Amino acid sequence: MSITRRRAAPSKAATTTTLRHRNLPLLLLQAREGVLAHFRPLLNAHGVTEQQWRIVRTLLAEGALEPRQIGTLCRISSPSLAGVLARMDELGLVQRERTAQDQRRVLVSLTRKSRHLAAAMAPEVEAVYARIEDHIGADFVQRFYATLDELIDLLEGLPAGEDDGE
């Protein structure tokens, strides 16, 4: 089922509110879901969740990290991350080791099994990206990546929850 996105004049009910801006968080969620819908069948076929795949991709790119770093980079809350990492450990996808310098600190790294999984999935993942790019255009994809990078950078300088007086 497709929902038409209207950008025409707001309805009478909408004009009685003081909200002037479109719902950016909702639009970003809708875009995320639109993209993930193309990846979910692939993730399901390989028996990994979206969060697990985010962690695998991050550890592939960054190398071993502390759980706190993984949570920050993958946008997974600490309580959720503990469960995800425990399950990934059970599945043999990650290994956790205490650091030599500080036994309280733990580094999480990928196992040979998860590296083989990523290698097996890579052609399929790239094929999904190619289908999306073919559909929406390579120029749009590159502009969108650049816009997202810029948005992320700009928002880092804005304290969360600050009231700007408006």
The model's pLDDT over 46-79, given as tens digits with 9 standing for 90+, comes to 999 999 999 999 999 999 999 999 999 999 999 9
pLDDT value of position 99 = 84
Residue 79 domain flag: yes
pLDDT value of position 166 = 45
Residue 99 domain flag: yes
Residue 144 domain flag: yes
Residue 137 domain flag: yes
What domain range includes position 110? 24-155
> What is the chain written as a DSSP string?
-------SSPPHHHHTS---S--HHHHHHHHHHHHHHHHHHHHHHTT--HHHHHHHHHHHHH-SB-HHHHHHHHT--HHHHHHHHHHHHHTTSEEEEE-SS-TT-EEEEE-HHHHHHHHHHHHHHHHHHHHHHHHH-HHHHHHHHHHHHHHHHHHHTS-TT-----
Task: Count how many domains the chain has.
Answer: 1
Q: How confident is the model at residue 80 (pLDDT cuts 50, 70, 90)?
A: very high
Residue 33 domain flag: yes
The model's pLDDT over 116-165, given as tens digits with 9 standing for 90+, comes to 999 999 999 999 999 999 999 999 999 999 999 999 999 998 888 755 54
CATH number, position 82: 1.10.10.10
